[in-house]
């Protein structure tokens, strides 16, 4: 029997109804790539904009040459033709610098405190400030909130004779960063310092005045390092604690000094500053080489269990002179320890803070 095409119209579509099936259409319909096995339908790319042209996306990464040591010597001698990977110490240093440059939302206020005087609190504040200013691109200022024979202003070359006292006296007229900048001195690291005024009476810098000074600075700086008087009971020290978001507790390595530093944490926990105690970083200052009678490992473990971290800062001849403190004049080990301390402090920048009224 002969069948006409019209008899198969039920099974065969009209020619005008036929749609050619391309390989791409077959793959999209069946999910098969034609070679056995299945693959999911590719997701439609998200809408691209000009914001995609960032250095991270569009530029090839370039390995940084070693910064020091024999690897650096080989790299320089061969004009970069022989590239030796960075050492473990160099990789560690880069990790610390990345931590130091943690972004800050708004302004962060870090106070350097100690229960005893003469433990290197002011120097530690200055060196950490130098470290932050050397590696970050935002504005950083150190404020000496101690009316009792302060030394912060003498540890760098002064550009201004203004002090925290004159800043407070004129604060109503200080509207812009340029206005405030006239009251600070800037170091080579880009750290700005507002000096204390040792002509004031010990109780002249009131609690509210310190809070006012910090409130003024936070409108123009991303990081405020606060150097405080020894102890926690003076009006100025109380004002600093009210204003602080984080603490660096500076302790000597002797048993009595370490006990006093630990008692500072006790006091903070008992007087409404438990959050500051828990997030604090302890700096064991002026650690000498060799094994003494004090077990530094146990002291370090004690503070590490009570705070965010504990960092040892070696003794350094440059700091014993009492003159201008510069990072470049420190021994490499001391400079590395200060970088580690700054990185430990920056570890808290991403955490929310509870501001006190």
Closest by alpha carbon to 154, among 181, 122, 128? 122
Question: Domain extents for the chain?
Answer: 65-100, 104-346
β-strands 185-186, 281-287: how paired? Answer: unpaired
Percent of the chain residues past pLDDT 90, beyond the cut: 49
pLDDT averaged over the chain? 81
pLDDT of residue 27: 47
Instruction: State whether CATH 3.40.50.300 applies to domain 104-346.
Output: yes
- What confidence category does residue 265 fall into, taking pLDDT thresholds of 50, 70 and 90? very high
Is the separation of the CB atoms in 116 and 250 below 8 Å?
A: no
What is the four-CA torsion angle of 104, 107, 110, 111, rounded to 10 degrees?
Answer: 180
* pLDDT 10s digits, 54-99: 665 676 656 667 666 666 676 677 766 666 667 788 889 999 999 9
Query: Mean pLDDT throughout 104-128?
Result: 92
Percent of the chain residues past pLDDT 70, beyond the cut: 71
Is the separation of the CB atoms in 72 and 66 below 8 Å?
A: yes
For the chain, the first-to-last Cα distance in angstroms comes to 101
pLDDT of residue 263: 96
pLDDT of residue 88: 84
- The helix (run of H) or strand (run of E) holding residue 48 is none
- Please give the Cα distance from 109 to 248 (Å, whole number): 11
pLDDT of residue 206: 82
pLDDT of residue 131: 97
- The helix (run of H) or strand (run of E) holding residue 345 is helix 332-346
- Please give the Cα distance from 305 to 301 (Å, whole number): 6
pLDDT of residue 313: 96
* pLDDT 10s digits, 193-233: 998 776 655 445 688 889 999 999 999 999 999 998 888 88
Largest CA distance in the chain: 123
pLDDT of residue 28: 46
pLDDT of residue 80: 66
Rg (CA), the chain: 31
pLDDT of residue 29: 46
Q: Which string of DSSP letters, residue by residue, matches 165-215? A: HHHHHTGGG--SHHHHHTT-EE-TTS-EEEB--TTS-TTTS-HHHHHHHHH
* pLDDT 10s digits, 30-54: 444 444 444 455 555 556 667 666 6
Query: Mean pLDDT throughout 123-143?
Result: 95
């Amino acid at each position: 029997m002969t069948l006409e095409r019209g008899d198969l119209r039920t099974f065969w579509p009209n020619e005008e109804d036929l749609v050619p099936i391309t390989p791409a259409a077959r793959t999209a319909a069946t999910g098969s790539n034609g070679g056995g096995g299945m693959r999911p339908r590719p997701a439609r790319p998200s809408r691209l904009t000009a914001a995609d042209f960032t250095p991270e996306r569009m530029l090839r990464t370039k390995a940084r040459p070693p910064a020091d040591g024999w690897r650096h010597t080989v790299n320089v001698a061969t004009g970069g033709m022989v590239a030796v990977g960075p050492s473990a110490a160099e990789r560690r240093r880069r990790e610390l610098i990345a931590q130091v440059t943690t972004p800050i939302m708004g302004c962060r206020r870090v106070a350097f405190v100690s229960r005893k005087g003469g433990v290197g609190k002011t120097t530690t504040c200055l060196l950490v400030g130098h470290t932050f200013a050397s590696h970050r691109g935002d504005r950083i200022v150190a404020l000496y909130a101690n009316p009792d024979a302060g030394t912060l202003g003498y540890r760098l070359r002064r550009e201004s004779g203004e002090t925290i006292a004159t800043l407070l006296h004129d604060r109503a007229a200080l509207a812009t960063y340029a206005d405030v900048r006239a009251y600070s001195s800037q170091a080579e690291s880009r750290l700005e310092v507002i000096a204390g005024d040792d002509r004031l009476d010990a109780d002249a810098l009131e609690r509210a005045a310190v809070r006012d000074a910090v409130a003024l600075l936070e409108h123009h700086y991303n990081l405020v390092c606060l150097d405080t008087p020894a102890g926690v009971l003076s009006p100025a020290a109380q004002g600093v604690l009210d204003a602080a978001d984080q603490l660096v507790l500076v302790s000597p390595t002797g048993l009595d000094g370490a006990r006093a530093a630990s008692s500072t944490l006790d006091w903070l926990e008992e007087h409404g500053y438990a959050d500051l105690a828990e997030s604090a970083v302890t700096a064991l200052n002026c650690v000498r080489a060799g094994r003494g009678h004090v077990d530094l490992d146990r002291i370090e473990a004690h503070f590490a269990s009570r705070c965010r971290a504990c960092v040892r800062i070696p003794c350094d001849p440059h700091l014993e002179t009492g003159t201008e403190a510069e990072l470049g004049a420190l021994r490499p080990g001391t400079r590395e320890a200060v970088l580690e301390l700054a990185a430990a402090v920056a570890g808290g920048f991403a955490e929310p803070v509870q501001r006190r009224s």
